[in-house]
Structure 1
Amino acid sequence: MLDHQQIDELATFALELADAAAAVTLPHFRSGLAVDHKAGDHKFDPVTAADRDGEAAIRKLILERYPDHGILGEEHGNHTGTSGLTWVLDPIDGTRSFISGVPLWGTLIALNDGTRPVIGLMDQPYIGERFIGRPGGSELIGPQGTMPIKTSACTKLEDALLGNTDPGMFKVDAEKAAFREISSKVKLRRFGGDCYFYCLVAAGTLDLVIESALQPYDIQALIPVIENAGGVVTNWTGGDPQQGGQVVAAATPELHEAALKILRSAAA
Structure 2
Amino acid sequence: MAFLDTSDRFSGKAKDFAKYRPTYPDEIIKFLRDRYGFSSKSICAEIGAGTGKFTKLLLKNKCRVFAVEPNAEMRAIAENSYKKLKSYTSVDATSVNTTLKEKSVDFVFCAQSLHWFSNAETAAEMRRILKPRGKVVIVWNKKDYKKSAFMTGIHKVFIEDSIDFLSVKIENIEDEKILADLFPQKFEKFSIPTKQILNREELLGRMLSTSYAPPKDHPKYDRFMAETNRLFMMHEKDGKVEFLYETVAYVLRV
TM-score, scaled to structure 2: 0.27
Q: Which has the higher contact order (CA 8 A, sep 6+)?
A: 2
Counting strand residues as a fraction of each chain, which structure ranks higher? 1
